Amino acid sequence: MSERKGACIIGQSGGPTAVINASAQGAIQAALKAGCITRVLGAAHGIKGVLDDKLYDMDQEDASELGLLKNTPSSALGSCRYKLADPDQDDTDYRRILEIFKKYDVRYFFYNGGNDSMDTCNKISKYMQKIGYECRIMGIPKTIDNDLNGTDHCPGFASAAKYISTSCMEVWQDAHVYDTGMITIIEIMGRHAGWLAGASALATWAGFGPDLIYLPEVDFDMEQFLADVTAIYHRTGKCMVAVSEGIHYADGTFVSEAKASATDGFGHAQLGGLAATLAEIVKQKTRAKVRGIELSLLQRCGAHLASETDIEEAYRAGQAAVEAAVSGMTDKMVAFRCTRDDKGYFCETILEPLDVAANAEKKVPRAWINAAGNGVEQPFIDYVLPLIQGEPELPREHSLPRFAKLKKVLATAN
């Protein structure tokens, strides 16, 4: 145990989730408790807040408001999508970060985000090591896309999965109410990995869900898709389809960006996104009533449908990052190692080198997708089901969410 006194910075980065603030809460509360951490600073809009010297003094926040972070979706400190340059090419940002770290005597840096954010975190860590500035740097995983390498799953994924599967079950009920034909196409986030689209299979598993699911792990074939949909529609009068926004043709072109194709002959303005485009194509093919539904931002900020398991794990990830750093660790990302067997689901936090997460995207294994490429298999269900368990006790006022309201007092150097 090597004690190092100093301030810490906690930053949130990338797209928000329903539980990223639970990780912030875990990290902030652990840091406020840690004797060696002299000051807890929150970065306004991630690394941009460091570069702009916009840091919030978390010690000045009310404990009760910090307590509400657990059920407040999105990034309470603000987020960013800011790519740091290769320090060998341009070290301007790194020198500025160092300057701020020195100004506030920052010796702990916690960065919560997905692939790009772990890349940022990794670069800062390596830079500080190289120039010999002692700072313990830890990544905290986060992404609804669930595509971070080195961890069983990512905080944020499960709550989005629960939102998606519950919403699919409800829409299924709605889409089956008339005795007339109806095709429903639901567009789900996930540009490069199909974890979220696949999670819609939980709805089917529970009795009311998509008949067909298309993931970006399998090349999309418009002819086959239309044949799949038409076959089910003609047999049952209904068809519900879940598609990942990231589905693409064999040549890599996203279906959402393809204006027309030689095979389908349709050319459509992309005004309404993928669901609307596919709905129009299916409508022209089948002459059925077709409705495209894009779950849009709703799926990643739906705190009211969060998984309690996800919230608790997100909290623990933030807490574990601080505890590991306090105990002397650096240059790591907190990750989950999980077992799922007869005894149930068990999840422990471990540490992985930051490089592991920063440099790869984890896809849905091909073996978990059915042979036809239009659904997922039981191992996928077994993987995701334990993650969505549990309902949080949501703070409410007048039956509306009571989200955290932070003071966000700007810090000045001591």
Give the residues lining the site for a copy of itself (CB under 8 A).
16, 44-45, 48, 72-75, 78-81, 162, 165-167, 169-171, 173-179, 184, 202-203, 206-208, 268-273, 276-277, 280, 291-298, 300-305, 307, 385, 388-391, 396-401, 403, 405
Q: In what order do the strands lie in the sheet with 37-43?
A: 55-57, 37-43, 6-12, 106-113, 136-141, 332-341, 344-353
Instruction: Kindly state the smallest distance separating residue 267's Cβ from a copy of itself, in Å.
Output: 10
DSSP for residue 150: T
Q: Which two tokens stand for residue 219?
A: 């090349």
Reference 160, options 148, 140, 145; nearest CA is: 145
Residues that are catalytic? 145
Residues 351-365 as b or e (16 or more Cβ within 10 Å = b):
bbebbbbbeeebbbe
Distance CA 9, CA 11 (A): 6
Q: Return d(Cα 363, Cα 365) in angstroms, integer.
A: 6
320 CB-side CA count, 13 A: 21
Minimum distance, C-beta of residue 10 to a copy of itself, in the bound complex (Å): 15
The residue (of 290 and 356) whose beta carbon lies closer to a copy of itself is: 290
Burial 257-268 (b: 16+ CB within 10 A, else e): ebeeeeeeebee
Q: Are 364 and 145 in contact (CB under 8 A)?
A: no
The minimum distance between CB 42 and a copy of itself, in angstroms, equals: 14
CB of 283 to a copy of itself, least distance (A): 10
In terms of CB distance, is 243 or 388 closer to a copy of itself?
388
**Encoded tokens for 31:** 């840091």
Shortest spacing between CB 297 and a copy of itself, in angstroms: 5
Q: How far is the CB of 271 from a copy of itself (least distance, A)?
A: 5
Q: Smallest distance, Å, CB 293 to a copy of itself? A: 5
Return the number of the residue (108 or 111) whose C-beta is nearest a copy of itself: 111
Q: Which is nearer to a copy of itself, 87 or 272 (CB)?
A: 272
**The two three-digit tokens of residue 320, written as one number:** 């574990």
Contact call for residues 71 and 390 (beta carbons, < 8 A): no
Single out the residue of 285, 137, 293, 290 nearest to residue 222, CA to CA.
Answer: 285
Name the residue nearer to a copy of itself (CB basis): 260 or 298: 298
Closest CA to 59 of 34, 39, 76: 39
Instruction: Indicate the residue among 27 and 388 with the shorter CB distance to a copy of itself.
Output: 388
Give dist(CA 338, CA 153) in Å, integer: 9
Residue 109 falls in which region: left (phi positive, over 0), alpha (psi -120 to 50) or beta:
beta
Contact 305, 313 (CB under 8 A): no
Neighbours of 408 (CB within 10 A): 16
Nearer to a copy of itself, 249 or 345 (CB): 345
Amino acid at 361: E
Of residues 348 and 382, the one with the C-beta less far from a copy of itself: 382
C-alpha atoms less than 13 angstroms from C-alpha of 405 in its C-beta half-sphere: 2
State the Cα–Cα distance between residues 18 and 186, nearest whole angstrom: 20
- Shortest distance in whole angstroms from residue 356 CB to a copy of itself: 27
